[in-house]
Amino acid sequence: MLTRKQHELIRYIQAKLEETGVSPSFEEMKEALDLKSKSGVHRLISALEERGFIRRLPNRARALEVLKQPEDVSSKAPLRATGTVVELKRPEPARAAPANDVIEIPLHGRIAAGVPIEAMETASMLPVPAALLGAGEHYALEVSGDSMIEAGILDGDYALIRRTDSARDGEIVVALVRGEEATLKYLRRENGRVRLDPANAAYEPQIYDPREVVVQGKLAGLLRRYH
């Protein structure tokens, strides 16, 4: 069952696709739904995508496709909550977006001790070249410190993170340690333990019981600004 805001958003996206052939921007969706920030739009889109109502076309920011919707949701129908869905005729393909198109993802702040990712929600959004992001839900974190410099990740960089709760050995992940500290490290498993490896010879690996470590995403890309 969809929430009222999810109903409103999917109805608005479908109407814009029928009218222009192009899905609305985050700013247009924010204004249409009277939301305070674009991060609210991002969460609604992610929820609809997870439930199979829409999908994001790869490598293009303004490219959403409606796959199905509650049968009572049309451009003229009143809003009513229902769990019944019907397949829709798919709209004409969206016009190709420019190669330098960008997408905005939530910027949760700097990775710092004592701040779980869920507590870092802010109204900030970071514009990112769409080509840097693949499928899935993403967020950004500003890197603090030099523990990953040998992997080319510098203090002040923006780590682009694909949200996931699993990762393979050797991948760079955002790990929440003991429910308190979020850190960006290589993930390794050995002898029934979890090892978080820095990419800096000046730092020692951190070894934990598996129950003490929760993966909250893995590195998908890196954005650096030169001043």
CA–chain centroid gap for 130, Å, is 12
What does DSSP assign to residue 65? E
Distance CA 101, CA 131 (A): 8
The CA-atom distances, in angstroms, between 203 and each of 79, 123, 161, 180, 211 are: 56, 33, 23, 20, 23
Instruction: Reply yes or no on whether 16 is catalytic.
Output: no
From the list 16, 30, 38, 185, the catalytic residue is 185
> Contact at 8 Å (CB) between 41 and 35?
yes
Instruction: Reply yes or no on whether 147 is catalytic.
Output: yes
Distance CA 138, CA 136 (A): 6
Helix axes 38-50, 4-20, angle to 10 degrees: 90
From the list 16, 30, 38, 147, the catalytic residue is 147
> Contact at 8 Å (CB) between 26 and 41?
yes
Distance CA 7, CA 5 (A): 5
Supply the residues annotated as catalytic.
147, 185
